[in-house]
Structure 1
Amino acid sequence: MAQENIDIPDDFELPVGAFDIPRCYDGDLKSVIIPEGMIRDRVRRLAKDIHEVIGNEQLALLCVLKGSYKFFTALIMGLANLEELRGKNVLVVDDIVDSGQTMAKLLHTLKENGVKQSWTALLVSKRVPRMIQVPENFVAFRIPDKFIVGYGLDYNQKFRDLNHICVMSSKGIERYKNK
Protein backbone atom coordinates (compact mmCIF):
# COMPACT_ATOMS: atom_id res chain seq x y z
CA MET A 1 0.00 0.00 0.00
CA ALA A 2 1.39 3.41 -0.95
CA GLN A 3 1.96 5.85 1.87
CA GLU A 4 -0.53 8.69 1.91
CA ASN A 5 0.82 12.07 2.88
CA ILE A 6 -0.89 14.48 5.23
CA ASP A 7 -0.37 18.04 4.10
CA ILE A 8 -1.41 20.67 6.61
CA PRO A 9 -2.85 23.60 4.59
CA ASP A 10 -1.12 26.96 4.86
CA ASP A 11 -4.15 28.59 6.48
CA PHE A 12 -5.04 25.75 8.88
CA GLU A 13 -4.86 26.90 12.49
CA LEU A 14 -6.87 25.83 15.53
CA PRO A 15 -7.46 28.16 18.50
CA VAL A 16 -5.03 27.66 21.38
CA GLY A 17 -7.88 28.14 23.86
CA ALA A 18 -9.54 24.94 22.64
CA PHE A 19 -6.64 22.84 23.98
CA ASP A 20 -5.02 22.06 27.32
CA ILE A 21 -1.91 24.24 27.11
CA PRO A 22 0.26 24.92 30.19
CA ARG A 23 -0.45 28.39 31.60
CA CYS A 24 3.24 29.28 31.50
CA TYR A 25 2.86 29.60 27.71
CA ASP A 26 -0.08 32.05 27.80
CA GLY A 27 0.34 34.48 24.91
CA ASP A 28 3.37 32.67 23.49
CA LEU A 29 1.44 30.55 21.00
CA LYS A 30 -0.60 31.74 18.03
CA SER A 31 -2.36 28.48 17.22
CA VAL A 32 -2.32 24.69 17.23
CA ILE A 33 -1.72 23.15 13.81
CA ILE A 34 -1.44 19.47 14.76
CA PRO A 35 -3.27 18.22 17.88
CA GLU A 36 -1.78 15.42 20.00
CA GLY A 37 -4.42 12.85 19.06
CA MET A 38 -3.77 13.39 15.37
CA ILE A 39 -0.02 13.00 15.96
CA ARG A 40 -0.49 9.74 17.89
CA ASP A 41 -2.78 8.26 15.26
CA ARG A 42 -0.56 9.34 12.38
CA VAL A 43 2.57 7.91 14.02
CA ARG A 44 0.81 4.54 14.46
CA ARG A 45 -0.09 4.57 10.75
CA LEU A 46 3.46 5.55 9.82
CA ALA A 47 4.78 2.58 11.82
CA LYS A 48 2.54 0.28 9.76
CA ASP A 49 3.74 1.92 6.53
CA ILE A 50 7.36 1.39 7.57
CA HIS A 51 6.68 -2.26 8.36
CA GLU A 52 4.97 -2.76 4.98
CA VAL A 53 7.99 -1.36 3.13
CA ILE A 54 10.82 -2.80 5.21
CA GLY A 55 9.09 -6.02 6.22
CA ASN A 56 10.83 -8.32 8.65
CA GLU A 57 14.32 -7.15 7.71
CA GLN A 58 16.50 -6.46 10.73
CA LEU A 59 16.56 -2.71 11.23
CA ALA A 60 18.80 -0.33 13.18
CA LEU A 61 17.12 2.89 14.30
CA LEU A 62 19.21 6.04 14.40
CA CYS A 63 17.73 9.05 16.20
CA VAL A 64 18.98 12.46 15.13
CA LEU A 65 19.38 14.74 18.11
CA LYS A 66 18.93 18.47 17.90
CA GLY A 67 22.02 20.52 17.32
CA SER A 68 23.89 22.41 14.72
CA TYR A 69 25.52 21.10 11.60
CA LYS A 70 29.03 21.79 12.93
CA PHE A 71 28.33 19.89 16.14
CA PHE A 72 26.91 17.00 14.15
CA THR A 73 29.95 16.85 11.86
CA ALA A 74 32.36 16.86 14.79
CA LEU A 75 30.34 14.22 16.60
CA ILE A 76 30.00 11.85 13.66
CA MET A 77 33.77 11.98 13.10
CA GLY A 78 34.28 10.84 16.67
CA LEU A 79 31.86 7.95 16.65
CA ALA A 80 33.88 4.77 16.72
CA ASN A 81 30.83 2.51 16.57
CA LEU A 82 29.70 3.68 13.13
CA GLU A 83 31.30 0.44 11.95
CA GLU A 84 28.48 -1.41 13.74
CA LEU A 85 26.03 -0.17 11.10
CA ARG A 86 27.98 -1.64 8.16
CA GLY A 87 25.80 -4.00 6.15
CA LYS A 88 22.64 -3.10 8.10
CA ASN A 89 19.38 -1.47 7.17
CA VAL A 90 19.05 1.86 8.98
CA LEU A 91 15.97 3.98 9.64
CA VAL A 92 17.01 7.55 10.47
CA VAL A 93 14.40 9.17 12.72
CA ASP A 94 14.23 12.97 12.98
CA ASP A 95 11.65 15.43 14.21
CA ILE A 96 11.92 18.03 11.45
CA VAL A 97 13.68 18.72 8.18
CA ASP A 98 14.27 22.39 7.44
CA SER A 99 17.29 22.98 5.20
CA GLY A 100 18.13 19.29 4.77
CA GLN A 101 21.83 19.94 5.41
CA THR A 102 22.22 17.78 8.52
CA MET A 103 20.19 14.90 7.09
CA ALA A 104 22.14 14.96 3.81
CA LYS A 105 25.47 14.79 5.66
CA LEU A 106 24.25 11.97 7.88
CA LEU A 107 22.93 9.88 4.96
CA HIS A 108 26.18 10.44 3.05
CA THR A 109 28.21 9.34 6.08
CA LEU A 110 26.08 6.22 6.50
CA LYS A 111 26.54 5.31 2.83
CA GLU A 112 30.31 5.88 3.05
CA ASN A 113 30.41 3.52 6.02
CA GLY A 114 28.73 0.64 4.21
CA VAL A 115 25.13 0.79 5.39
CA LYS A 116 23.09 -1.70 3.35
CA GLN A 117 20.09 0.60 2.90
CA SER A 118 18.76 3.68 4.67
CA TRP A 119 15.38 5.32 5.00
CA THR A 120 14.20 8.46 6.76
CA ALA A 121 11.22 8.83 9.09
CA LEU A 122 10.23 12.41 9.86
CA LEU A 123 7.61 13.87 12.15
CA VAL A 124 7.32 17.04 10.06
CA SER A 125 8.74 18.32 6.81
CA LYS A 126 8.38 21.99 5.98
CA ARG A 127 7.23 22.88 2.49
CA VAL A 128 10.17 25.14 1.71
CA PRO A 129 12.59 25.32 -1.20
CA ARG A 130 15.75 23.43 -0.26
CA MET A 131 19.24 23.84 -1.63
CA ILE A 132 19.92 20.25 -0.57
CA GLN A 133 17.36 17.58 -1.44
CA VAL A 134 17.11 14.64 0.93
CA PRO A 135 14.94 11.54 0.72
CA GLU A 136 11.79 11.76 2.81
CA ASN A 137 10.66 8.15 2.88
CA PHE A 138 8.18 8.29 5.75
CA VAL A 139 6.73 11.67 6.69
CA ALA A 140 3.99 12.10 9.28
CA PHE A 141 3.07 15.67 8.29
CA ARG A 142 4.06 18.17 5.62
CA ILE A 143 3.56 21.66 6.98
CA PRO A 144 3.76 25.27 5.85
CA ASP A 145 6.84 27.33 6.66
CA LYS A 146 5.77 28.46 10.12
CA PHE A 147 7.66 28.81 13.40
CA ILE A 148 6.51 25.66 15.21
CA VAL A 149 7.11 24.18 18.65
CA GLY A 150 5.80 21.31 20.73
CA TYR A 151 5.86 17.52 20.72
CA GLY A 152 9.62 17.62 21.26
CA LEU A 153 10.29 20.63 19.02
CA ASP A 154 11.75 23.51 21.00
CA TYR A 155 12.57 27.18 20.84
CA ASN A 156 15.62 27.91 22.99
CA GLN A 157 14.98 24.80 25.08
CA LYS A 158 11.33 25.71 25.77
CA PHE A 159 8.03 24.20 24.54
CA ARG A 160 9.27 20.59 24.10
CA ASP A 161 6.72 19.56 26.73
CA LEU A 162 3.69 20.65 24.68
CA ASN A 163 1.56 17.71 23.56
CA HIS A 164 0.52 19.48 20.35
CA ILE A 165 2.48 21.07 17.52
CA CYS A 166 1.84 24.79 17.75
CA VAL A 167 2.70 27.97 15.88
CA MET A 168 4.60 30.55 17.93
CA SER A 169 3.15 34.03 18.35
CA SER A 170 5.35 37.05 17.64
CA LYS A 171 5.16 37.82 21.38
CA GLY A 172 6.45 34.34 22.23
CA ILE A 173 9.25 34.54 19.68
CA GLU A 174 10.35 37.87 21.13
CA ARG A 175 10.01 36.67 24.73
CA TYR A 176 12.28 33.64 24.29
CA LYS A 177 14.71 34.78 21.59
CA ASN A 178 17.62 35.50 23.93
CA LYS A 179 17.04 32.76 26.49
Structure 2
Amino acid sequence: FIFVQYFSTVPLFYNEVRSLSEFSIGLLLAMNGLIIFVFEMPLIKFLESRPMSQLSLMILGFLLTVLSFVFLTFGSWTGLLIIGMILMTFGEMIIFPFSSAFAMNRSRTGKQGEYMALYNIAFSISHIFAHNGGMLSISKFGFKSTWFIAMIIGVLGIFFLVILQNRLVKKSSK
Protein backbone atom coordinates (compact mmCIF):
# COMPACT_ATOMS: atom_id res chain seq x y z
CA PHE A 1 0.00 0.00 0.00
CA ILE A 2 2.64 2.48 1.05
CA PHE A 3 5.13 2.34 -1.79
CA VAL A 4 2.63 2.54 -4.64
CA GLN A 5 1.14 5.75 -3.22
CA TYR A 6 4.23 7.57 -4.46
CA PHE A 7 3.18 6.81 -8.02
CA SER A 8 -0.57 7.36 -7.77
CA THR A 9 -1.81 9.56 -4.92
CA VAL A 10 1.35 11.47 -4.02
CA PRO A 11 1.59 13.15 -7.46
CA LEU A 12 -2.02 14.29 -6.99
CA PHE A 13 -1.04 15.71 -3.61
CA TYR A 14 1.89 17.51 -5.21
CA ASN A 15 -0.49 19.09 -7.71
CA GLU A 16 -3.68 19.67 -5.73
CA VAL A 17 -2.29 20.58 -2.30
CA ARG A 18 1.24 21.81 -3.00
CA SER A 19 0.33 23.37 -6.38
CA LEU A 20 3.34 21.92 -8.19
CA SER A 21 3.31 21.96 -11.98
CA GLU A 22 3.38 18.74 -13.98
CA PHE A 23 6.97 19.56 -14.88
CA SER A 24 7.97 19.88 -11.20
CA ILE A 25 6.17 16.65 -10.35
CA GLY A 26 7.97 14.98 -13.23
CA LEU A 27 11.30 16.23 -11.88
CA LEU A 28 10.56 14.78 -8.44
CA LEU A 29 9.63 11.41 -9.94
CA ALA A 30 12.64 11.53 -12.27
CA MET A 31 14.84 12.22 -9.26
CA ASN A 32 13.66 8.88 -7.87
CA GLY A 33 14.79 7.07 -11.00
CA LEU A 34 18.08 8.95 -11.20
CA ILE A 35 18.95 8.21 -7.56
CA ILE A 36 18.17 4.53 -8.11
CA PHE A 37 20.27 4.46 -11.29
CA VAL A 38 23.28 6.07 -9.60
CA PHE A 39 23.16 4.68 -6.08
CA GLU A 40 21.26 1.38 -5.86
CA MET A 41 23.99 -1.10 -6.77
CA PRO A 42 26.77 0.61 -4.75
CA LEU A 43 24.37 0.96 -1.81
CA ILE A 44 23.36 -2.70 -1.93
CA LYS A 45 26.98 -3.81 -2.22
CA PHE A 46 27.88 -1.64 0.77
CA LEU A 47 24.94 -2.89 2.86
CA GLU A 48 25.69 -6.52 2.02
CA SER A 49 29.15 -6.02 3.52
CA ARG A 50 27.67 -4.77 6.80
CA PRO A 51 26.90 -7.14 9.68
CA MET A 52 23.12 -6.69 9.33
CA SER A 53 20.57 -9.36 8.51
CA GLN A 54 18.30 -9.08 5.50
CA LEU A 55 15.37 -8.55 7.86
CA SER A 56 17.19 -5.73 9.66
CA LEU A 57 17.82 -4.07 6.31
CA MET A 58 14.19 -4.56 5.32
CA ILE A 59 13.16 -2.88 8.58
CA LEU A 60 15.51 0.01 7.80
CA GLY A 61 14.05 0.37 4.30
CA PHE A 62 10.52 0.27 5.68
CA LEU A 63 11.43 2.87 8.31
CA LEU A 64 12.81 5.25 5.68
CA THR A 65 9.66 4.83 3.60
CA VAL A 66 7.42 5.52 6.61
CA LEU A 67 9.50 8.58 7.50
CA SER A 68 9.06 9.88 3.96
CA PHE A 69 5.34 10.29 4.65
CA VAL A 70 6.11 12.46 7.68
CA PHE A 71 7.54 15.02 5.26
CA LEU A 72 4.27 15.02 3.32
CA THR A 73 2.17 15.79 6.39
CA PHE A 74 3.99 18.75 7.91
CA GLY A 75 5.14 22.11 6.66
CA SER A 76 4.75 23.87 3.36
CA TRP A 77 8.36 24.19 2.21
CA THR A 78 8.81 22.39 -1.12
CA GLY A 79 12.18 21.10 0.05
CA LEU A 80 10.28 18.78 2.40
CA LEU A 81 8.86 17.02 -0.65
CA ILE A 82 12.36 16.50 -2.00
CA ILE A 83 13.54 15.12 1.35
CA GLY A 84 10.50 12.83 1.46
CA MET A 85 11.19 11.55 -2.06
CA ILE A 86 14.85 10.91 -1.21
CA LEU A 87 13.87 8.97 1.93
CA MET A 88 11.29 6.93 0.01
CA THR A 89 13.80 6.24 -2.75
CA PHE A 90 16.46 5.00 -0.34
CA GLY A 91 13.82 2.96 1.49
CA GLU A 92 12.77 1.44 -1.82
CA MET A 93 16.37 0.71 -2.82
CA ILE A 94 16.95 -1.09 0.46
CA ILE A 95 13.73 -2.99 1.01
CA PHE A 96 13.07 -4.42 -2.45
CA PRO A 97 16.37 -6.18 -3.14
CA PHE A 98 16.63 -7.53 0.40
CA SER A 99 12.98 -8.63 0.60
CA SER A 100 13.32 -10.50 -2.67
CA ALA A 101 16.60 -12.07 -1.49
CA PHE A 102 14.93 -12.98 1.80
CA ALA A 103 12.09 -14.74 -0.02
CA MET A 104 14.58 -16.58 -2.21
CA ASN A 105 16.74 -17.63 0.74
CA ARG A 106 13.72 -18.97 2.66
CA SER A 107 12.84 -21.34 -0.17
CA ARG A 108 13.86 -24.96 -0.30
CA THR A 109 16.16 -26.17 -3.05
CA GLY A 110 14.17 -26.56 -6.23
CA LYS A 111 11.33 -24.36 -4.97
CA GLN A 112 12.93 -20.95 -5.57
CA GLY A 113 10.72 -20.24 -8.58
CA GLU A 114 7.57 -20.92 -6.58
CA TYR A 115 8.68 -18.63 -3.76
CA MET A 116 9.60 -15.85 -6.15
CA ALA A 117 6.29 -16.28 -7.98
CA LEU A 118 4.41 -15.83 -4.69
CA TYR A 119 6.58 -12.84 -3.82
CA ASN A 120 5.77 -11.23 -7.19
CA ILE A 121 2.08 -12.10 -6.91
CA ALA A 122 1.96 -10.30 -3.55
CA PHE A 123 3.59 -7.25 -5.13
CA SER A 124 1.14 -7.39 -8.05
CA ILE A 125 -1.82 -7.62 -5.67
CA SER A 126 -0.63 -4.44 -3.97
CA HIS A 127 -0.74 -2.71 -7.35
CA ILE A 128 -4.28 -3.93 -7.92
CA PHE A 129 -5.67 -2.69 -4.61
CA ALA A 130 -3.36 0.00 -3.23
CA HIS A 131 -3.82 2.59 -5.99
CA ASN A 132 -7.61 2.47 -5.69
CA GLY A 133 -7.41 2.16 -1.91
CA GLY A 134 -5.29 5.29 -1.73
CA MET A 135 -7.67 7.19 -4.01
CA LEU A 136 -10.70 6.08 -1.98
CA SER A 137 -8.96 7.07 1.24
CA ILE A 138 -8.16 10.51 -0.16
CA SER A 139 -11.74 11.03 -1.33
CA LYS A 140 -13.17 10.02 2.07
CA PHE A 141 -10.55 11.30 4.52
CA GLY A 142 -8.24 13.66 2.64
CA PHE A 143 -4.54 13.56 1.88
CA LYS A 144 -3.18 14.13 5.38
CA SER A 145 -5.27 11.33 6.89
CA THR A 146 -4.26 9.03 4.05
CA TRP A 147 -0.59 9.71 4.81
CA PHE A 148 -1.23 8.89 8.47
CA ILE A 149 -2.95 5.66 7.41
CA ALA A 150 0.09 4.84 5.26
CA MET A 151 2.38 5.52 8.22
CA ILE A 152 0.28 3.28 10.48
CA ILE A 153 0.39 0.49 7.89
CA GLY A 154 4.15 0.99 7.63
CA VAL A 155 4.63 0.84 11.39
CA LEU A 156 2.57 -2.37 11.45
CA GLY A 157 4.79 -3.77 8.71
CA ILE A 158 7.88 -2.90 10.74
CA PHE A 159 6.30 -4.48 13.82
CA PHE A 160 5.61 -7.73 11.97
CA LEU A 161 9.14 -7.78 10.53
CA VAL A 162 10.56 -7.37 14.04
CA ILE A 163 8.39 -10.26 15.25
CA LEU A 164 9.57 -12.39 12.33
CA GLN A 165 13.17 -11.46 13.01
CA ASN A 166 12.83 -12.41 16.69
CA ARG A 167 11.24 -15.75 15.79
CA LEU A 168 14.00 -16.55 13.32
CA VAL A 169 16.67 -15.62 15.86
CA LYS A 170 15.03 -17.88 18.46
CA LYS A 171 14.68 -20.68 15.92
CA SER A 172 18.33 -20.44 14.85
CA SER A 173 19.59 -20.39 18.45
CA LYS A 174 17.89 -23.73 19.20
- Normalising by structure 1, we get a TM-score of 0.24
Structure with more of its chain in strand, by fraction: 1
Between Structure 1 and Structure 2, the one with more helix by share is 2
